[in-house]
Structure 1
């Protein structure tokens, strides 16, 4: 068997074979046949190279800043959670209480000019538990997942979800994005009505902008990696600064806001920094099974009405479109339309009668609300009813990523101008076959996880992504696109 280096094969008499390397002789070489001297020159060069390479590596490790790798890196495998959070870490600012926590103490009469909002803060912003109220309407096992959630309480819900976000970081230097938990919608809820000056309405926002611009991480990017939730319609924050008598506050026209990514329940389609997120519904699943149970339940519902209209006519508005829908529902549907009158019953906080109306209907009429959108769109789809839109801006130009991109797969569009000119809603909806209605309903039901907000906790939904998860994706996508634009 040959040695590793060279062909050192000897004869029985100890002499080398012909062609073997000749030993080096001398008085300092007591061994007439040293091993190294018997290595062919080409192999010697290889051996010296390997020895020098090892010495170089040893010197590099000794002279490195840490001397040696940290013990943790030697013994701890890379966790899937670590790689999962690469490029997705979010740092949540701990704001002075005046910008969020204080509003809980002002809930009795300072957040709404007409009613107390204290109950809305219960259960981490989900509101009072509705389990008793929905008994007999929803399956027994998922009753604890229902709450009377305020439709403008997104700021509180998002804050609590961010605090429990699996990729939240406590080290700002490692963050991809920064979340500002300012309850701006709550701060102006009362001030939008009444005789308040522009300065009074803007005060909290001005203070917030001054505070955030003093922060180290803001100055690093001038706010381009910062995110804020606006719990109301974007139009409530777009008063021109010099127009004191106009509606709303001027937050979105303040210079510090020009780079911030904004989340809101209704966005300006021409503002590339805004992301429209779903209104909070009253269903907040605790687990994947809660969603599956609800989906299976509404597939089996007996739907006795062709369509439902939840809303009331606004007599103070000339040619009010809702009045036209109400007339078609009550007088021209032949009993195929079910009506829930919001002029007589509050539809803002949600009632079991609204849910029952949607659960019993194939379609639900969705005119615009205070803006182009309304929470009723999501209440309708949550019940497995197919939405009928009259404005493209009610959903199609709003909730990208939260509703199917193929609008005809889950909804019906009837131009409002056609309705005003006499188009019968009943006839349009009757033209849909039972098979097509079933396919559209299934698309709506499949999409439910995309627009509901799970109960805030660290373990909740596992394989199912909810509206919060999709929002994070949209934020990071917006941030990366904006980052490339800033670099170009």
Structure 2
């Protein structure tokens, strides 16, 4: 049973697109038109001159329309604002690789009222009770350039490193979706429908407000569902061929009671059929799909990816393992404190960066330097079961050490092998946290005893995964058959819906 929201109905004007009808000329304009006609009749030479000018303008207009669309496409995040980055007209599929890459279907993007996305960006100063989020959401969600990485990453790759916020996926996916090759403006030709609602920003602005009510946290989500109910594709499928990107963890949208944390978006009637792409999923809900947290690396080409892979693969690593985090003094038997003690006992075999007070946030230099120098990086659970740090660690070529299976193996099946380090082609190490807590195992002994050859193979596996863990800075994708995290997600959604249609077709026979 999905509880109904008691949010009052939205204003009707929010559910309608603004009229684009041409206004009727006023009497004043009509008078000017008559005077102009009189002038033409009384001055034939002027009329001929005006005719020539208008003809030239028409020729220029027709010529401009024949210029390929890609010359107008936006190839890097706009420096001015993320809202500008989203306003990109989709290029035809045949202009970018043909229809063969769209065998699983086409995507239709809803043109939502700005209340559900653009207005939230315009109100970036009001999205957080403590500080503005305008800088964090700039550059199409990538944030500002990471100028603190000079001397840490190769100079040729500096323009592709940003201080990206971990909750920016909604903007990043929307911008890329508007230029991806399997896009259609015809709903009848679509097999998947993307809902570009920034629910994470909408709900997030109320999470830490002392005076925020459950109605306020749910209002925009309820308004969206009412708007969708007016759309023919939604009425036809009940949302089963729709998908949405949520930039926060699933638990921020699963409030069961008014006094609980977060919003109740995923428990609202209608959302039970929608596929949701989230940075942390509920392992017991098949509609939730885990996607990588955004990191700071946004390559512009396959060349840049390969250059970065070579850089991290061949880099000497002086530290056996490392940890970026902080102890939680308010939590009894805090496991992070246990790891910090393990690190201290390991001497020069371990380095730690203190992230207390939120100091690590988007500070790329300190944590990236740490991971670049480490063979392994410790990844306990964060405030929830997952951490962005695991992706920062892997992009730096370090091997993650996992202590909760729900932190990785039950989260990102489209992106990471599900084996826990002992099966198949290992990319991580799993160590039972209870054995660490009890002192039955020593991290330095376990990790140091793996041997150089095994560590080298694991690092090669991690480095090979990097392309599918990052979000490219170019709307058309990396090219040359290399998929980034966005490409993997869209392909996964289209195949999921295609397979479902095939199963339903067989069942009807």
What TM-score does the superposition give when structure 1 sets the normalisation length?
0.81
Q: 1:166: how far off? A: 1.1
Residues 133 and 352 in structure 1, CA contact (< 8 A), matched pair in contact too: yes
Q: Which has the higher contact order (CA 8 A, sep 6+)?
A: 2
Please say if 1:248 is aligned against 2:248: no
Q: Displaced runs of 4+ in structure 1, greater than 4 A? A: 484-487
Q: 1:486: how far off? A: 5.2
Of 256, 275, 280, 2:294 maps to 280
Instruction: Give secondary structure in 2 for the equivalent of 1:178.
Output: strand
Residues 153 and 280 in structure 1, CA contact (< 8 A), matched pair in contact too: yes
Please say if 1:358 is aligned against 2:371: yes
Deviations 1:159-215 (A, max 9, x none): 001011111111111111010000000011121122321111101101011001111
Q: 1:485: how far off? A: 5.8
Instruction: Give secondary structure in 1 for the equivalent of 2:184.
Output: coil
Distance in 2 between residues matched to 1:152 and 1:407, nearest whole Å: 27
Partner of residue 174, structure 1: 189
What TM-score does the superposition give when structure 2 sets the normalisation length?
0.77
Distance in 2 between residues matched to 1:205 and 1:345, nearest whole Å: 29
Instruction: Give secondary structure in 2 for the equivalent of 1:358.
Output: helix
Partner of residue 225, structure 2: 209
Distance in 2 between residues matched to 1:345 and 1:124, nearest whole Å: 24
Distance in 2 between residues matched to 1:433 and 1:164, nearest whole Å: 46
Partner of residue 453, structure 2: 435
Q: Give the number of the structure whose alpha-carbon radius of gyration is greater.
A: 1
Q: 1:476: how far off? A: 2.0
Partner of residue 404, structure 2: 391
Distance in 2 between residues matched to 1:383 and 1:135, nearest whole Å: 16
Instruction: Give secondary structure in 2 for the equivalent of 1:445.
Output: helix
Structure 1 residues 185 and 345, CA gap change in structure 2 (3 angstroms): closer
Please say if 1:88 is aligned against 2:101: no
Partner of residue 471, structure 1: 489
Partner of residue 223, structure 1: 239
Partner of residue 347, structure 2: 334
Q: 1:271: how far off? A: 0.4
Distance in 2 between residues matched to 1:135 and 1:88, nearest whole Å: 43
Matches within 5 A, 1:82-481: 82-108=99-125, 110-130=126-146, 132-193=147-208, 194-240=210-256, 243-330=257-344, 332-343=345-356, 346-408=359-421, 409-422=426-439, 423-458=441-476, 460-481=478-499
Q: 1:258: how far off? A: 1.2
C-alpha root-mean-square deviation of aligned residues, in Å?
1.5
Q: 1:360: how far off? A: 0.3
Q: 1:344: how far off? A: 5.4
Distance in 1 between residues matched to 2:477 and 2:414, nearest whole Å: 23
Residues 313 and 397 in structure 2, CA contact (< 8 A), matched pair in contact too: yes
Deviations 1:333-378 (A, max 9, x none): 1221100000156222132010000000100000001110010000
Distance in 2 between residues matched to 1:389 and 1:86, nearest whole Å: 37
Q: Can you give the 5+ residue segments of structure 1 that lack an aligned partner in the other structure?
A: 1-77
Instruction: Give secondary structure in 1 for the equivalent of 2:124.
Output: coil
Residues 169 and 247 in structure 2, CA contact (< 8 A), matched pair in contact too: yes
